[in-house]
Amino acid sequence: MYPRTERTTATRTRDRMHYDRATAHALLDEAYHCALAFTSDGEPRVLPTLHVRLDDTLYLHGSTGSRPLLAARGADGLPVSVAVTHLDGLVYARSQFHHSANYRSVVAHGTARLVDDADEKARVLTALVEKVAAGRSTESRPPNRRELAETAVLALPLREVSVRMRTGGVNDEPADAELPYWAGVLPLRLTPGRPEPDAGVVAPVPAYLRPARSPWRDPVVLRGEHVVLEPLDLAHADELYAATGDPDVWRHLGDRQPTDVAGMRRIIAGYLDAQQDGEQVCWAQRCARTGAVVGTTSWYEIDPVRRSLAIGYTWLGRPWWRTGVNTEAKLLLLTRAFEELDAVRVVWHTDIRNERSQRAIERLGATREGVLRHHRQRLDGSWRDTVQYSMLAPEWPDARARLRPAVSA
C-alpha cells in the first residue's frame, strides 16, 4: 500500500480513493500516455507524454529541448504530478446534477530526475517500445547516437500515489426515480482498429498487431504439399493482382475485376474489415513450390455455437486451375474445421450459372441441398439464384479418404 499524504487524501467522495500498489501499477501499465504537470517560470504547465513503469519507478519520455527536461537538469530535480485516466463509461441520470462518468485514475506526486546513465536510458527506451507490442524492439531499428542525444527520459519514484475510481450505475435522488427520462450507463472502451500499413510496406501485419480471436476466427497458417494458406494481408495485393488478371477468374465473383493494384487493395481491405468484425476469416493461397501468391479463400457465416461455417470468397489465378492447389486448400480448410474445431457442418454457396464451381464442390464430396432463389444481387443488377452444398461431420472421413489421394496424384 502507498502511504496517504496530504496531497493524496481526498476532501470528498473518499470512498472512491484507493492506495493499493498493485492496482496503481496495473492502471499505469494499461495506459499508453499520461499528463505531466509541472511549474515553469512560475507558471503551471501540463504536457501529454508517453510513459512506462519499471518496478516502482515511472519513466516519462521527452525531448532534450522541452521545458520539463531542461528544468530537471538541476541537482534538485523537478517537482511534478502525473495523471493517468481510463474513461470506462458515461452515466446518464434523470437529473442533470447526477450525470457522471465511470473511470479509473492514478495520480502520482514527487520529484523527477533526468536519466543520465546510458544503460538505464537504453533499458527504458526498449521498455517503451515493448509496451507498444511485445517483441517490437527486435522488429524495428534501435535509436542511433543522434536520436539518443535528442531523446530525454525523466524518472519519477512512485512513492506518493493515489487511485480514484467510479464504477456502477446511476445515483439519482429517490424523488427523481419516477421521472420519464432514460437513465443508465453507456460503456466506453478503447479498441484497436485494423492496422494500416505505410506506403511500400511488403511485410505482413505482425502477429502482435492482430487481435486475439476465437480459434474459429483465427486465420492460422495451414501448410500442404501444393499450397500454403496464410493470413490475408494488404501486402499480398501486388501478387494477387498479377496472378488474377484473367477476366474468367472474376466472371462469377461479387467484386469487379480490379484495374490496378490500388483496386486490389480495396478488395482486400473490404475482406479484412469483415474479418475485423468477426464475419470472415481470410487466407491468401501461396504456391508451395514457387512461393507465389496465387489466390485467396475464406470462411464466413461462422457460428461456433452451432459449430458450422461456410467456405467461399475463393478466387485462384487461371494458371493454377485444375492443379492440386485448390483441392488441397479445401482439404486443409476441411481438416481444420472438422478435426481441430469439431465442426458439424460446412457449407458452400455458388452462382447457379457457375457450373464449373458446382462440379468442383461436388468433387469434394459435398451434397447439393437446394437452390436459394434470388439470394444475392449480381454486379449487373440481376438477382442470383444460389446453389447451396454442405458436408456433415459423419461424411468427412469418406471425403477425406477420396481427397488425399487426389491431392497427392
Q: What is the CATH number of the domain that holds 143?
A: 2.30.110.10
- Residue 150 makes CB contacts below 8 A (sequence gap 6+) with 63, 64, 65
136 found inside a domain: yes
Last residue of a domain, one of 112, 135, 166: 166
8 found inside a domain: no
Element (H, E) at 114: strand 100-114
Q: Are 341 and 215 in contact (CB under 8 A)?
A: yes
Domain co-membership, 215 together with 288:
yes
179 found inside a domain: no
Phi, psi of 5 (to 5 degrees): -130, 175
> Domains in the chain: how many in total?
2
pLDDT 10s digits, 245-289: 999 999 999 899 999 999 999 999 999 999 988 999 999 999 999
Residue 74 — pLDDT band, cuts 50, 70, 90?
low
Q: What is the CATH number of the domain that holds 300?
A: 3.40.630.30
pLDDT 10s digits, 52-66: 999 999 999 988 777
- Owner of C-alpha cell 536519466: 115
Domain co-membership, 141 together with 27:
yes
Domain co-membership, 139 together with 268:
no
Per-residue pLDDT, 409: 63
Domain co-membership, 143 together with 45:
yes
Average pLDDT value for the chain: 93
Q: What is the mean pLDDT of residues 338-364?
A: 96
Q: Are 320 and 240 in contact (CB under 8 A)?
A: no
Domain co-membership, 217 together with 79:
no
Domain co-membership, 145 together with 62:
yes
Domain co-membership, 141 together with 236:
no
Domain co-membership, 149 together with 216:
no
Q: Which three cell numbers stand for residue 179?
A: 421521472
| Strand 222-223 relative to strand 227-231, pairing | antiparallel
Q: Which three cell numbers stand for residue 161?
A: 500515489
**8/109 Cα distance (integer angstroms):** 8
82 found inside a domain: yes
- Long-range contacts of residues 310-313, Cβ cutoff 8 Å, at least 24 apart: 310/346, 310/347, 310/348, 310/349, 311/346, 311/347, 311/348, 312/348, 312/349, 312/350, 313/254, 313/271, 313/280, 313/282
Element (H, E) at 157: strand 151-157
Residue 215 — pLDDT band, cuts 50, 70, 90?
very high
Q: What is the mean pLDDT of residues 315-322?
A: 93
Residue 72 — pLDDT band, cuts 50, 70, 90?
low
CA distances (Å), origin 360, targets 242, 282, 290, 352: 24, 20, 24, 13
138 found inside a domain: yes
pLDDT higher than 70, residue 342:
yes
Domain co-membership, 30 together with 144:
yes
Phi, psi of 7 (to 5 degrees): -80, -20
Last residue of a domain, one of 166, 195, 223: 166
Domain co-membership, 371 together with 263:
yes
pLDDT 10s digits, 163-178: 999 999 999 999 999 9
pLDDT 10s digits, 17-39: 999 999 999 999 999 999 999 99
Domain co-membership, 257 together with 345:
yes
392 found inside a domain: yes
Element (H, E) at 281: strand 280-287
81-90 b/e (C-beta count within 10 Å ≥ 16 → b): bbebbbebbe
Q: Which three cell numbers stand for residue 181?
A: 427520462
Residue 212 — pLDDT band, cuts 50, 70, 90?
confident
Phi, psi of 71 (to 5 degrees): -70, -30
Identify the domain containing residue 245 by its residue range.
Answer: 207-408
7 found inside a domain: no
Domain co-membership, 302 together with 359:
yes
317 found inside a domain: yes
